[in-house]
């Protein structure tokens, strides 16, 4: 059943789709996937563009056209209606929290159904339900992983595909991914301390205190040294240096610091991110806590250097994620199936374009280039004008350039 709403300068159609948890078992357990279709009031007959959000584990943006949220929406609505999916487990789709029913084995089996392959199966089922012949796809970050899976699994459903924030690796092992991202994080740490040299001593002091004392965050988790190093996650965004500096300049005893430190490092709101982050890189085989193993290789990692978009086993010892600890261990050992069919990608005929950010510490440029080199008709825009959040910071230009590339206008 569709609900039609009108908000300023937008026509909105909201739908709840009843879909199989496992698309290979259509008569088995079902979940709800929520979609929100957006159209310009004069553009309700335009073709559809499906947007896959980053993550994993984050719902689609909530549109407010009067303040340009998301900032690429106006450009998209000039050519399309836009279909935003709350990917399974997020937002208004059947949610995943930190307390799942059943024992750890049952929880792990359930969670294996929330990777990009299942998300694309959902999109395909919705396309058939809506009687759409072909549609266009835009994927941001992890959404690009979904887009490449779509290009691999059902290319006949696609008119054009656009990636922002990198193209996922097809040929690299997950360990190679993390070796590359730790190398980028070395650069980001060095740049941060060049800009804010006093923050080196601030961070060292905070690390020492977190080692000596039990610092409890408002939600009950501890601010351990490893969690302090998670602050480096900010450094891949265009405003990350400043956000991190403004956090470190706060008095570490203040409620403001403790609240902001928790917000910067917590995955309690979106637990899928923590529990399936490594799995989203796995094009077959187990991940076996890859980020932790690769960090352990970094014998000369300076004490004050922070980590980036990495998930570690210790996170599941904290109260906010402890209920998922045993399931997380099982998933780290899980034999994941391949996400991408290299033969299908090598025969690709769907016009595609990707914005690859040259110094991105989240999705390594060299691995994106390697994938693009094996996918015909995938054109790269390699730029250092933006960090990982280029689509959010300059959405009209980024999306416009990708459309021009995919359509052969550049």
Question: DSSP string covering 155-213, please?
Answer: GGGEEEEEEES----SSS-HHHHHHHHHHHHHHHHHHHHHH-THHHHHHHHHHHHHHHS
Residue 336: band (very low, low, confident or very high) from pLDDT cuts 50, 70, 90 = very high
CA distances from 189 to 89, 145, 249, 370, 404 (A): 33, 27, 17, 26, 35
- pLDDT confidence band for 79 (50 / 70 / 90): very high
Overall average pLDDT of the 385-403 stretch: 96
Q: Tell me: the pLDDT tens digits for 45-57? A: 999 999 999 999 9
CA distance 298 to 307: 11
Tokens of 236: 């891949």
pLDDT band for 410, please (50, 70, 90 cuts).
confident
| Res 172: pLDDT | 94
For the cut 80, the answer to whether the pLDDT of residue 85 exceeds it is yes
- Provide the pLDDT confidence category of residue 399 given band limits of 50, 70 and 90: very high
Please state the φ and ψ torsions of residue 287, each to the nearest 5 degrees.
-100, -30
CB atoms under 10 Å from CB of 18, counted, come to 11
Q: What is the predicted pLDDT for the residue at 66?
A: 83
Pairing between β-strand 2-7 and β-strand 378-383 as defined by DSSP bridges:
unpaired
> Residue written as tokens 């980020």?
291
The confidence score (pLDDT) of residue 1 equals 76
What does the alpha-carbon distance between residue 118 and residue 120 come to, in Å, rounded to a whole number? Answer: 5
Per-position b or e across 150-178, b if 16+ CB within 10 A of its CB: bbbbebebbbbbbbbbbbbbbebbbbbbb
Angle 358-184-144 from CA coordinates, rounded to 5°: 55
Locate 21 and state its tokens. Answer: 């948890």
Q: What mean pLDDT comes out for the span 56-73? A: 91
CATH 3.40.50.1820 positions along the chain are: 2-170+340-406
- Distance set, CA 214 to CA 223, 250, 269 (Å): 8, 19, 23
Confidence at residue 99, expressed as pLDDT on a 0 to 100 scale:
87
| H-run or E-run covering 272 | helix 271-276
pLDDT band at 131 (very low <50, low <70, confident <90, very high): very high
Local confidence band at 98 (pLDDT 50, 70, 90 cut-offs): confident
pLDDT in tens, 187-244: 999 999 999 999 999 999 999 999 999 999 999 999 999 999 999 999 999 999 999 9
Tell whether the model's pLDDT for residue 180 goes beyond 90: yes
Q: For the domain 2-170+340-406, what is the CATH code? A: 3.40.50.1820
Whether residue 129 is predicted with pLDDT greater than 80 in this model: the reply is: yes
């Amino acid at each position: 059943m569709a609900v039609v709403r009108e908000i300023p300068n937008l026509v909105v159609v909201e739908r709840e789709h009843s879909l199989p948890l496992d698309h290979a078992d259509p008569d088995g357990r079902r979940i709800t996937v929520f979609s929100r279709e957006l159209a310009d009031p004069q553009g309700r007959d335009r073709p559809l563009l499906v947007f896959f959000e980053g993550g994993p584990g984050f719902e689609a943006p909530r549109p407010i056209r009067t303040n340009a949220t998301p900032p690429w929406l106006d450009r998209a609505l000039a050519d399309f209606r836009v279909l935003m999916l709350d990917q399974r487990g997020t937002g208004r789709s059947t949610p995943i929290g930190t307390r799942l029913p059943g024992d750890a084995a049952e929880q792990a089996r359930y969670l294996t159904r929330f990777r990009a392959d299942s998300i694309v199966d959902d999109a395909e089922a919705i396309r058939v339900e809506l009687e759409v012949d072909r549609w266009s796809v835009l994927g941001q970050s992890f959404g690009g992983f979904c887009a490449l899976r779509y290009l691999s699994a059902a290319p006949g459903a696609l008119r054009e595909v656009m990636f922002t924030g990198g193209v996922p690796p097809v040929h690299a092992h997950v360990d190679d991914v993390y070796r590359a991202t730790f190398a980028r994080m070395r650069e980001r740490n060095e740049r941060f301390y060049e800009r804010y040299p006093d923050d080196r001593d601030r961070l060292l002091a905070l690390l020492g205190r977190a080692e000596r004392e039990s610092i409890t965050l408002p939600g009950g988790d501890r601010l351990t040294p490893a969690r302090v190093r998670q602050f480096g996650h900010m450094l891949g965004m265009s405003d990350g240096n400043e956000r991190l500096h403004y956090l470190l300049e706060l008095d570490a005893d203040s409620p403001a610091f403790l609240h902001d430190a928790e917000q910067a490092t917590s995955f309690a709101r979106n637990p899928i991110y923590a529990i399936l982050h490594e799995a989203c890189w796995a094009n077959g085989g187990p991940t076996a806590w890859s980020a932790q193993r690769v960090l352990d290789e970094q014998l000369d990692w300076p004490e004050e250097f922070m980590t980036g978009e990495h998930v570690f086993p210790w996170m599941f010892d904290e109260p906010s994620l402890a209920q998922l600890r045993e399931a997380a261990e099982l998933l780290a050992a899980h034999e994941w199936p391949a996400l991408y069919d290299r033969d299908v990608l090598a025969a690709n005929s769907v016009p595609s374009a990707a914005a690859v950010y040259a110094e991105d510490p989240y999705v390594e440029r060299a691995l994106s280039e390697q994938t693009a080199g094996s996918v015909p008709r995938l054109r790269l825009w390699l730029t250092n004008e933006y960090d990982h959040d280029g689509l959010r910071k300059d959405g009209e230009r980024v999306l416009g350039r990708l459309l021009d590339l995919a359509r052969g206008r550049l």
